[in-house]
């Protein structure tokens, strides 16, 4: 039986600067409209100012918070003991690639060509270094496609300030000849690569096997605090229903979607077009299928093996499929 409902005046949401159903719903004003009649204020953690510490985007130490973002912080928070539940997963192809210097074009074209090369592994002094985790997972996936592993390359630590721009420290190391290859993903990476004269050596999007692209955003979880799910299960279902409807809407409004993605990612039209060629309705839909849960479980095992998690996370037990199933039955086309 769910716990009895208690007073609640604010629902919080947070999302990473990537394509999310949450970002679309927020842009369209649908989240605020959904809960207005209940007297609930819906606020973005990104717009909270000093009201709520921004670090809670990573720790999820806020019981009224919905989070749609990278799986590295989500798994890290769960492993550290935060009582969150997994209520959805998306899989969005977002231009994952291994970049090289233009002078090395042709010499690094297949995963096997990475053997013996110096690869950039960033380090940021932050609570959970998801940048480092992304680089390790990106190279792990690429190398695995050739039957190789991280011991077959030479990791080079690249120190970046916590507030450093995306991929800038790594791309500067590539430009300066300190490393031979850099893993990148997303819209800003497309723009940063062009600015630093880097080119794609290995396009991970071209591989049929999706396990090559398992990383921080693939699959990308939606999580909620157990306390909110226990005390206000109806609110969780309604929030998810809005996200389901937002994903439906995205599939038939490509121009509006491109505008929203530019605003969410901070990238220009070229970056968005280059990174999110497939960010349509099917990609933004939430799913808790066995297949997606297995992909996330692979990521959990990799992160734990690399020392990012304080303990194991049973992904199947973490998942709470009932709210999403209920949300789908309530959803209507917008």
Residue 183 has pLDDT above 50, yes or no: yes
Which CATH fold would you assign to the domain 96-213?
A: D-Maltodextrin-Binding Protein; domain 2 (3.40.190)
State residue 124's pLDDT score. 95
CATH number of the 10-92+219-330 domain? 3.40.190.10
Reference 82, options 95, 73, 92, 91; nearest CA is 73
The CATH 3.40.190.10 portion of the chain extends over 10-92+219-330, 96-213
Q: What is the pTM of this model?
A: 0.93
Q: 239 Cβ partners below 8 Å, 6+ apart?
A: 11, 13, 31, 34, 66
> At residue 149, does pLDDT exceed 70?
yes
Interval 66-89: pLDDT, tens:
999 999 999 999 999 999 999 999
| Phi, psi dihedrals of residue 173, rounded to the nearest 5° | -65, -35
- What stretch of H or E contains 107? none
- Residue 1: pLDDT over 70: no
């Amino acid at each position: 039986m769910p716990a009895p409902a208690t007073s609640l005046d604010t629902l919080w949401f947070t999302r990473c600067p990537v394509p999310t159903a949450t970002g679309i719903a927020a842009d369209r004003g649908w989240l605020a409209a959904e809960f207005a009649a209940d007297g609930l204020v819906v606020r973005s953690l990104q717009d909270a100012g000093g009201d709520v510490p921004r670090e809670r985007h990573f720790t999820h130490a806020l019981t009224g918070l919905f989070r749609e973002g990278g799986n590295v912080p989500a798994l890290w928070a769960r492993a550290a003991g935060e009582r969150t539940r997994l209520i959805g997963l998306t899989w969005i192809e977002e231009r994952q690639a291994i970049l090289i210097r233009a002078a090395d074009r042709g010499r690094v074209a297949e995963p096997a060509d990475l053997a013996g090369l110096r690869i950039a592994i960033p380090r940021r002094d932050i609570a959970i270094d998801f940048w480092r985790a992304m680089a390790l997972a990106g190279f792990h996936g690429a190398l695995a496609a050739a039957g190789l592993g991280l011991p077959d390359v030479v990791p080079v630590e690249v120190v970046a300030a916590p507030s450093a721009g995306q991929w800038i420290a790594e791309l500067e190391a590539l430009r300066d000849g300190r490393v031979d290859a850099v893993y990148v993903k997303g819209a800003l990476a497309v723009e940063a690569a062009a600015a630093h004269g880097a080119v794609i050596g290995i396009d991970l999007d071209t591989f049929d096997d999706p396990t090559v692209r398992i990383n921080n955003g693939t699959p990308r979880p939606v999580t909620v605090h157990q306390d909110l799910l226990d005390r206000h299960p109806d609110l969780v279902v309604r929030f998810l229903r809005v996200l389901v409807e937002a994903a439906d809407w995205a599939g038939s409004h490509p121009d509006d979607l491109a505008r929203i993605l530019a605003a969410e990612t901070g990238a220009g039209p070229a970056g968005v077009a280059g990174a999110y060629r497939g960010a349509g309705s099917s990609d933004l839909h939430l799913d808790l299928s066995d297949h997606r849960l297995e992909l996330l479980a692979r990521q959990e095992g990799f992160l734990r093996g690399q020392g990012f998690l304080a303990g194991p996370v049973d992904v199947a037990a973490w998942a709470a499929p009932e709210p999403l199933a209920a949300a789908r039955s309530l959803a209507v086309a917008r």
